[in-house]
Every structure is written in structure tokens, then in C-alpha cells.
A and B are shown apart, each in its own frame.
Chain A
Amino acid sequence: MLLVHPVRELGQAIPALIGLVLAGRAVGDGQLWWLGPLGVVVVIALSVLRWMTTRYRITPEQVQLRTGLLQRKTIATPADRVRSVDVTASALHRVLGLAKVDIGTGSHDAGSGLSLDSLTVAEAAGLRAELLHRMAIASPDTPDTPGTLGAGELGAAPATEVADPAVRETELARMDPRWVRFAPFTMSGVLGAAAILGLGSRFLDQSGFSAAEVGPIRKGLDYLERTTVWLDLLLGLVALLALVTVLSIGGYVLSYWGFRLTRHPHGSLHITRGLLTTRATSIEERRLRGVELAEPLLLRAVHAARLGGITTGLTSKGAAGGGSSLLLPPAPGAVARDVATAILRDPAPVDVALTVHGPAARRRRFSRALLSALILVVAAGVAIWWGAPRWFAVPAVLVVPIAALLAADRYRSLGHAVAGGFLVTRAGSLERRRDVLECDGIIGWNVRQTFFQRRAGLATLTATTAAGRQRYAVTDVPLSLALPLADRALPGLLGEFLVP
């Protein structure tokens, strides 16, 4: 357990150490050779010292973390402010049997939470159980449970006994290895490929050798030069698809292997996942204001969906959606719906038939899509008139039917409902999402009408909330439906401003 800090900090200090070694060589006639080794020793000593002087303590009122030898720092957080306890273990941690515990307080400021690195796995699990237990039933009579990251009282594990064996978790979802087949239909592989190609080309640029001089690549390029452009394009496309597929499957397995979603009877959801780096996160159910069922076009094509949570006071690190926390990785649509039902404890908001937005909304979808396609066609026409090659017209004209299809699909997605105390709204085609937001979590309405929406009698009704994306919009809904909807979802607020 000693190893994690020194290894990590040596890694971080490598640039400085290289500088020291170089300086040692350059100054004098190499008499200062000892500068480099000294630097390594100092870094190791400092990190060991840091580890030895770090103590944590959990009292009924507070979670305290004390660090530093010369410059002592104490961070204390009221125990009732603890909103999330995440346990992460990287590959290095796991080899050493350690884990890192992040205690979140729901504050949006970076560094406001506590982070306890290098606890043993058992300690981390015990601490997590203890804190979650506290969160659930803020019991004032729990005795102090001091703990330490250093030697000494190490055996006095913080509260392994609180993990009450009578308290059984119910499992809501468990990853099925067959779900990996959905990985190629997500964007993660595309992003990964872009990152690899970008980094690779930059590395080649900076390292100063030309990729074309490497033997196998040289042979490949020779082959490409002998063949026609179309074949090259085809081969490139196949290679890219293969790369994207491999990367997306790899990413899926790394992130979601062993995914498990459970409900703790004390009122929290727990997620564990990860192949090499394992993560355990928890969401308090009273902070869960709803779910987002995401069905992007590609996933919809294979009847799959993702599930995210709409939570308050949870800064969602690494949640690409911005403010929604992962509840289920890409999985069969039926499973996603079942899990959503189980989480919400109500099938109504998941299964309810949505009210369609009518012909005006459909016209608006088509006019918007076709207008942008038309602009492209006109631009291509002008370009050809100015002397661009004729084939410019082909993609421009192809855009028109694609735009029409998208518009039709976007209209098909539009819908809303109020069911079981939840506002349900769905929109989007490439990124279709069904948002299910608890009506109690709505803290205001924005009714937006552009000039053209006013002429068509439509409006975009946005429910503002303190959770998730902060805004959930019912797009292009006829005003005659929007107002009763808002009134039904949050009775009383709109009433005094409504006139028949």
C-alpha cells in the first residue's frame, strides 16, 4: 500500500527529474551527478511522508481529513452534507489491493470533496457502507470511528460491522456480456479513433520522422498508389470501420464490464462497473429527480438504449451528457425500460403513450430541415457556376432526401405526457431522448416563441429544474396543449395568469 503514492508522484515528477539530471550533467564536469538520484529520493520521501501524515476520522457530525507535516491542512465536512461516496480502483490500485474513496458534498466547486487514496479494499468498502448508512439514517448515536491511512491503527477497520447482514440490496440490472454487441453503435469508438489518429499524427510530426519511411507503411502506400482512388477509399473506409469497432468494443468492455445496478433499502442506488479500473458510485434516491432514456439513431436501429439519471447536487464528472449520471450502459431497449420502471417504481412514465404535437409541428420540422438543405443546394450551385467541379451537385442533392427523412423522424420523436407525477418529454432524431422529470422537481416555466413559432401557434415549453441538465424542453408544442400541460404538471403556479 506504500507503493501507490510514490509511484504516482514519481510519474508526475518525471519532467522535473529529467531537468535535474540534465542540470547535474551540465553544471561543472558532472560533479553534480547526484542531483538526479537525490531528486528521486526526495520525491519518494515526501510522498511517503504525505501518506504517513494523512489521517481521516469520521465522527457523528463530521468527516475530517488531515494532511501535511509542516503545513497542516484539515478538511472537515459535515456528515449530513455527504452526498456521494465513490470508490475507484485503478489497475495499479487493484494489483496492490487498494482503493480510493471520493466523498462528494454536492458542491460545484472543484476540490470541495474529500479524497482518501490508498485505503485497503476492505477499509474502502467499510467506509463506503458506513457513510452511506449515515446518509440514509443520520443516526446521532454512532460511536466515533477513527481510521488512518498510515500504519498503526490500520487493523482497526472503520466500521466493517455497520454492513448489516440483514440489509440486502436488490439488484436492478446486471451487465450481460452480449450487450457488448451494441458498442459499435455508439459514438465512443468514433471519438476514440479520432483521438488516436490525431495524437498519432501529431506524435509523428513532432518526432520528426516520416511515417512513409517505415517498412510496412511504405509497402502499404506503394500498394495504394498502384490501385485506383475508389479502391483506396473503400479500403480506407473498411480499415476505419474496423478500427472504430475494435475501439468501441474495447471502450465498452473497459468501462462497463461487470456493470451492476442495485438498490439499497436505505434509499440509494449503487453502481459498480469497470474491467481494469473499477468504480463504485452511489446516488441517493431522494436526489434523483427522474431519468433520461437516450435512444440515438444508431442504437435505436438495433433496438438498444441508454439510461441516465437526473440528479441534484451531483457534479457528474465524466458524464458526457452534461449533468446526467449513468444508470445503464447501452443495453437492449426492453431492459432499459424495465430498469427505468424499477428505478421510478412506476411503469406509467416509461410506457405512457405520448401526445403528438400535430401538423404545425410537423410542418415546422420539414420547413427547417428542407430550408437548410436548400441553402446547401444553392451554395453548391453557386460554387459550380464559379467553376467548381460538377460532382459537387451530387452530395448537395443527396442532402435533400436525407433532410426530409430526418425531419420525419424528428417529428415522430416529438411528444409529451404527464404520468404518475412525472413530466415526460421526447425529442430528437440522431440523439433522441425521452426525459422523465419528477413534477416536484420543476421550479419554473419558460415559454419561448420565435416569430415563426408564434405564426404557427407553437411554443417551446421548458421546465427549469435544479437537477440534471437544468432545463427539460417540450419542443414545438401547440400553445393550446402547452399551457394545460404546464398547469397539470405543476398545479397552481400558472393558474392566476391563465385566461380562458
Chain B
Amino acid sequence: MHLRDPAHLVSPRAVVYWTVRAVPLWVLVLVGESIWLWSSGDHLALRVAALVVTVLLAAAHLIVMPRWRYRVHRWELTATAVYTQSGWLSQERRIAPISRVQTVDTERGPLEQLFRLANVTVTTASAAGPLRIHGLDRAIAEDLVAELTEVTSHSRGDAT
């Protein structure tokens, strides 16, 4: 017995978004190392090696992480439950019954607006269990929120 993946992938533009979002950190590290490299002369080989390793790590991270994430990040909404999967090295699947959903939010950061993406956050009465779907196409996110609002309005109870 195993748990199947949720049905839907997120937007392919999320790959570019995740890449762009990860760039600043690596740029910061590389700038720091470059300053260190030019500042003085001894242990030159060590410092060049560190720079080369950093560049390789950055390239690997920027190439692998977004594509891996894209294959992992998935979501599904059924008549009774919301099901999400996220992460890359560490992966997490979250399942919450529709009857326990309390709020549905969408949010778009400036970078996400640029890529016409949106996040959807579904919260339950537990502080431990918000379900987040990152990198959704904006139109799909809006449809999802409308659908969730529609479905949750039919379920009864105080969701605690």
C-alpha cells in the first residue's frame, strides 16, 4: 500500500521563479569570496579552489533544485479533502479534510507577480497544519480558491 501523488502539477513558470529566487543568496556568497580573493596574496590556491567549488555548487543547486521541486510540488482537491506535496530533499505531504478547513488565502509576492504566479494557503484549526501550494498559475489559483470556498461552505461544523 502506498500514497499516490496528488493529481496536479504547479505552473511550469515556477521553475524559473524558484531559480531566480535562489540566485541572490549565491551572488552574495560569490561576492564575499571574490572580495576575499582580491584582498591579499597568500593561500591563493585555497581561495581559488573555494571559489570554484562554490560556483559548481551554485550551478548544481540552481539547475537541480527548481526542476526537482517542480516534479515534487503537486496538489489535489477532491470533494472531501485537500492534498498537497512539497519540498525536494525533504518532502512533505499534507492532507486535510474539507470539513476542517477554516480559511483559504492567496498571496503574491512582487517576484511572483512578475511570473504571474500565486500561493494558496489553506488553514485548519491546528497551528501545525497549514497546506501551502506554491507557484500556482494565477488563474488556476483563483479558480481553486473559488472552488474551495464553494466546497467548504457546504460542510458543517466548527472545524475544530
Contacts and interface: CB of A to CB of B under 8 A. Distances in A.
A383 to B, nearest CB: 21
Contact of B80 (A450, A471, A480, A492): A492
Interface string A448-459: 111100100000
A466 interface: yes
Interface in A438-490: 443-451, 454, 462, 464-466, 469-471, 479-480, 483-484
A466 B6 CA distance: 25
Contacts of A464: 96, 124, 126, 128-129
Nearest to A500: B1
A496 interface: yes
A498 interface: yes
B139 interface: no
A450 B88 CA distance: 9
B81 A447 contact: no
B125 interface: yes
Contacts of B129: 443-444, 446, 464, 470-471
A312 B96 contact: no
B61 interface: no
Contacts of B1: 480, 483-484, 498-500
A498 B78 CA distance: 14
A494 interface: yes
Contact of A443 (B4, B80, B97): B97
A493 interface: yes
B57 to A, nearest CB: 17
- A444, A462, A466, A494 — most chain B CB neighbours (10 Å): A444
Contacts of A451: 89-90
A497 interface: yes
Contacts of B18: none
Given A313-B160, A446-B94, 20 more contacts: A312-B160, A443-B100, A445-B96, A446-B129, A447-B93, A447-B95, A449-B91, A464-B96, A465-B126, A466-B126, A466-B160, A470-B126, A470-B127, A470-B128, A471-B128, A494-B3, A496-B78, A497-B83, A498-B1, A499-B2
Interface of B: 1-4, 6, 76, 78, 80-81, 83, 89-97, 100, 124-129, 131, 159-160
